[in-house]
Amino acid sequence: MNTTNTMNACERIAFIGLGHMGGPMAANLVKNGFSVSAFDLSGAALSAARAAGVTIAPSAAAAVEGASVVVSMLPASRHVEALFLGEDGLLARMATGALVIDCSTIAPASAQRVAHAAQARGLAMLDAPVSGGTAGAAAGTLTFIVGGETTALERARPVLSAMGRNIFHMGASGAGQVAKLCNNMALGVIMAVTGEALALGVSHGLDPQALSDMMAVSTGRSWATEVCNPWPGVKPEAPASRGYSGGFGNDLMLKDLGLAVEAALQVGAAVPLGELARNLYALNSRAGRGGLDFSSVQELLLSPR
């Protein structure tokens, strides 16, 4: 955590997108002494951020006025491109030399499009998607997975450090998004196969708790067995133990797997398990669980309820 409040106050930050992740991230910037002007299209998101001490601007354009850093945390590629690009986009309104840090998970090609447009206007841009979920956003312990110029990252470091604990520089523009998609593709596959293993064991009469406890210290261990176990009651803090509410939405995982498959097509890579997992989360969404935590894919394999 960065606690040099007076120094931070010199950096004026615009924060666009105050949802599940962006709201607590903006609040952590304020807690760390940054001057933040924020905007979201949703009234509920604005109220929550205001209650957490974030100053709200009347529009995204007003938020970026006089800002030296603009942080965005939006749902998908189309939202990010619509916000920054074009004659009315934010890039056209930002002061020369300002820095864009986009923390949304979007297509690597989309991040590169915005970065090139930023560069053409004398602005710097980093793709900095995150890992750590809503709990990490609230606690200020996110991992930032960054693509872009080293000089831009050094400038962004105090801002990122106020919202997270780990920063990985993966390479040039778009590399942060590629790395994030690799991580989430592995996560999506591991969660699905963990649910499948638990379903198999329970079908044979095994106790899901005993099976999970064994797997958590054996070679089948993972974040899915140890922390976000998909079987209700095995881990009291996991979304599965509260009806799969909160956590990382099935449809966000579906989006990330779609981006991973798209990225694979671009370079002719084979991602057979990623494609299979994408289909499983699509079926889970069609079964009405799109808004639930992605571990609810367990119900597709064997309903524990």
> Which residues have a catalytic role annotated?
180
Binding footprint of ligand NAD, residue count (CB under 6 A): 25
Q: Is 188 in the site for ligand NAD (CB under 6 A)?
A: no
Among 8, 14, 22, 187, binds ligand NAD (CB under 6 A): 22
The CA distance from 28 to 22, in Å, is: 10
Stretch that binds ligand NAD, among 38-46, 186-194, 275-283, 297-305 (CB under 6 A): 38-46
Among 68, 105, 177, 298, binds ligand NAD (CB under 6 A): 105
Q: Is 40 in the site for ligand NAD (CB under 6 A)?
A: yes
Among 48, 49, 69, 73, binds ligand NAD (CB under 6 A): 73
Give me 295's structure tokens: 């571990």
Q: Is 133 in the site for ligand NAD (CB under 6 A)?
A: yes
Q: Is 257 in the site for ligand NAD (CB under 6 A)?
A: no
The CA distance from 299 to 78, in Å, is: 31
**Locate tokens 């930032």: which residue?**
144
Q: Is 39 in the site for ligand NAD (CB under 6 A)?
A: yes
Nearest to 106 by CA among 262, 299, 281, 278: 262
Q: What are phi and psi of 143, to 5 degrees?
A: -105, 125
To ligand NAD, the closest distance from the beta carbon of 97 in angstroms equals 23
Nearer to ligand NAD, 25 or 215 (CB): 25
Nearer to ligand NAD, 11 or 127 (CB): 127
Q: For the purposes of burial, counting CB atoms within 10 Å of the CB of 152, is it exposed (0-12), middle (13-18) or buried (19 or more)? A: buried
The DSSP secondary structure of 205-238, one letter per residue, reads T--HHHHHHHHHTSTT--HHHHTS-SSTTTSTTS
To ligand NAD, the closest distance from the beta carbon of 7 in angstroms equals 28
To ligand NAD, the closest distance from the beta carbon of 158 in angstroms equals 21
Chain residue at closest Cβ approach to ligand NAD: 19
SS3 content of the chain, % helix, strand, coil (to 5): 55, 15, 35
Nearer to ligand NAD, 40 or 299 (CB): 40
Give me 289's structure tokens: 């669980």
Give the H/E segment covering residue 277.
helix 272-284
Give contact residues for ligand NAD (rule: CB under 6 A).
16-22, 39-42, 45, 60, 73-75, 79, 83, 104-105, 130, 133-134, 248, 252
